Amino acid sequence: MKGTRGVLVGGGPAPGFNGVINAVTVAARAQGWKVLGIPKGFSMLMKGDVSEVKELTLADVDGIEQTGGSIVFTSRAKPMKDEASLANVVASIQKLGITDLVTIGGDDTATSAMAIAKKVGIHIRVAHVPKTIDNDLPLPKGASTFGFEQARGPGAQIVAEP
């Protein structure tokens, strides 16, 4: 086993979560990684609760990219709201043996992931997948997040209908 990759979703709902969870899991498992699905964003980790964290297998993610929602759910919880919450998240990640953390969310989730990486130090790598239907992340010109594109298309079609 190469290491343990954790995946969590933060912020409000947007299309495409399960597609990212599927891709992360399939790619990591193909390389010999263990993958943990962290439920409800940072909310449970902020309490030091890892009881619902589940190892994701290929069977768990098979076909989920075609379904809405998130198999690990999401939360708007922000671990940076106080030092104790951030410390609990760091301790939980260390307890789980996570060496790589993949976060899916908007600017608050990205900022939280960066703070966690700084606290844990060289013992963890963090990758953030930008998601927001507001398209308010500082991405390269012309780039948009997957949540924005999936929300904009149907919205524009509904408005254009007679």
Catalytic site residues? 134
Q: Are 72 and 21 in contact (CB under 8 A)?
A: yes
Q: Which residues contact 16 (CB under 8 A, 6 or more apart)?
A: 131, 146, 147, 150
Tokens 């190892």 -> residue: 55
Closest CA to 28 of 66, 55, 68, 67: 55
Q: Which residues contact 110 (CB under 8 A, 6 or more apart)?
A: 103, 128, 130, 137
Distance, CA of 151 to CA of 149 (rounded, Å): 5
Interhelix angle 83-96/107-120, nearest 10 degrees: 70
Closest CA to 12 of 104, 140, 113, 115: 104
